[in-house]
Amino acid sequence: MTAAAYALAIPERRARQTAQLYGTRAQLAVGSGDVEGYLALAGCDKRAGTASYALRIVNQSQHLLRARMTCARLRGEPILAYPFDVQVAPFSISETLLPVRVADIGPYDRAIVQVAGGDVAFSLEAPAPPRSAKRSRWMIAAAASVALTLTSAFGAAASTPRLALLAAPQRAFRGTSVDVPYAYKGWASMQYALETPDGRQLFAGLVNAHEGTLHFDVPASAGSDVVLSVNVAGPFGKQSSTRNIAIAGNRVSRKVQAAGSAPRISEFAVATPIVRAGGEMTVTYTTDARTGEIWLIDDAGRLWARAPIAANGATTIAVPQGAAGRQMRAVLHARNAKSDTVASVGVLVMPSALVPAAQETTSRQAPQSPGAQLTLSTQQAAPGDEVTIMLDGTHGDARITMTDESGQSVEQGDIPSDQNAETITAPDVSKTTTFYVMASISNGVSDQTVVRKLVVSPRT
């Protein structure tokens, strides 16, 4: 029985169609369209201790799909292999290379990717990399089969990895932070390392997002310069590049002097008082750079929006709806010839609308299970009063944040999935002030943000 026939054979009374497949390909026919998935072991770098899996999802349905990868053993619970969910928009194709740190996870038997969204739910499996150096005829045949599957599945969509941007600054100061915007193309992942000239490693990591920002803290004991090296590699090739960063207070190398002066950034600020999801954010700056961009990035380095700088020193960026409740950073990347300078400022994205509990409605597109209800022990408090935040109903882990009217965070807390309440203290105010208590609640692979209003008045 084919995968499509297996999916259609599931009784219609079930709200979800599920297929459990042990190959590298799955094809499902659902009421809103067809969904295809491919998963294969693309390669293994034993020296680096990583394995790479090629994931391709063709979403011809109206639902947003999310894919989560785990590694399973014959005994024990599955281990989360990749910390981020892969999101596939409706009527789109997603091709992703998922890296697995074998050295951190340990031996496993197979990699599993769970795909879910709307009335679609299925899993894809691929074998673990071989544990011995010996290659039998069966292994050679399996490798040839995987190569043939990859060639037919991806075809012209796969391209040779190419590093498009690595904007490392020419100079940095000891004890400060450095943001390095990057971008690469092709079917690959990127490994990076920050080292001293004698080979001592300061930072290292692996990223799969094709655009983002590398964030480093320059140690106070750093020498005269450091070297940033990146390696963009995939099944169809690799590309390596290095950047020298001179440490301020020491002699600058001739290469840095020959590259020209770096652009200066004297001012950089967010001009929008309250940044809301689905709205616009305006940033102002003063720089002598000829070209540059403004990037909106979250703490994980994911790029949410971008816009070029303007001659008048002000740029407006559209903030996506999905950024609600997230702590973001606006990064200014300024460039003169081959020299780069970056500056960043933090910003908290508020929900697009604050809706009272009595006016909350559920989506009409598909039936949803009742979400957690957020209530406060009181909506009128005095400075120093304890306010209890309660979550009623089944919920996941929740992050609690109290902000003022300008969007600045005042107090934070957590409510684990096995608890239902958290206590915060009303801040000290000199006049009646409105605060917003926001709960970001995890629900499987999705998040729910609920906001309540708290008014604090001085004691009479």
282-305 per-position pLDDT tens digit: 999 888 887 889 989 887 777 888
Rounded Cα gap, residues 161 and 231, in angstroms: 10
- For residue 95, what is the DSSP state? E
315: confidence class by pLDDT, cuts 50, 70, 90: very high
Whole-number average pLDDT of the chain: 76
- Give the pLDDT mean for 59-86: 83
372: confidence class by pLDDT, cuts 50, 70, 90: low
User: What pLDDT score does 444 carry?
Assistant: 57
Residue 93 has pLDDT above 50, yes or no: yes
Rounded Cα gap, residues 168 and 177, in angstroms: 12
Is there a shared CATH topology between the 162-255 domain and the 265-348 domain? yes
Class of the CATH domain delimited by 265-348: mainly beta
Are the C-beta atoms of 65 and 116 separated by less than 8 Å? yes
Q: Which has more confidence, 80 or 133?
A: 80
Which of 31-35, 95-99, 171-175, 352-356 has maximum average pLDDT? 95-99
User: What pLDDT score does 452 carry?
Assistant: 86
Q: Provide the percentage of residues in the chain whose pLDDT is more than 70.
A: 77
Class of the CATH domain delimited by 162-255: mainly beta
Q: Provide the percentage of residues in the chain whose pLDDT is more than 90.
A: 5
Architecture of domain 3-157 in this structure:
Sandwich (2.60)
74-88, 201-215, 439-453: the lowest-pLDDT one? 439-453
DSSP 3-state assignment of 156?
Answer: helix
Residue 166 has pLDDT above 80, yes or no: yes
The alpha carbon of residue 300 and the mean position of all alpha carbons in its chain are separated, in whole angstroms, by: 5
183: confidence class by pLDDT, cuts 50, 70, 90: confident
- Give the pLDDT mean for 227-253: 76
Rounded Cα gap, residues 259 and 170, in angstroms: 9
pTM: predicted TM-score of the whole model, two decimal places: 0.33
**The tokens of 267 are what?**
């001012």
CATH topology of domain 357-362+369-456: Immunoglobulin-like (2.60.40)
User: What pLDDT score does 153 carry?
Assistant: 52
Domain ranges across the chain: 3-157, 162-255, 265-348, 357-362+369-456
Residue 339 has pLDDT above 80, yes or no: no
Residue 66 has pLDDT above 70, yes or no: yes
Rounded Cα gap, residues 41 and 360, in angstroms: 45
369: confidence class by pLDDT, cuts 50, 70, 90: very low
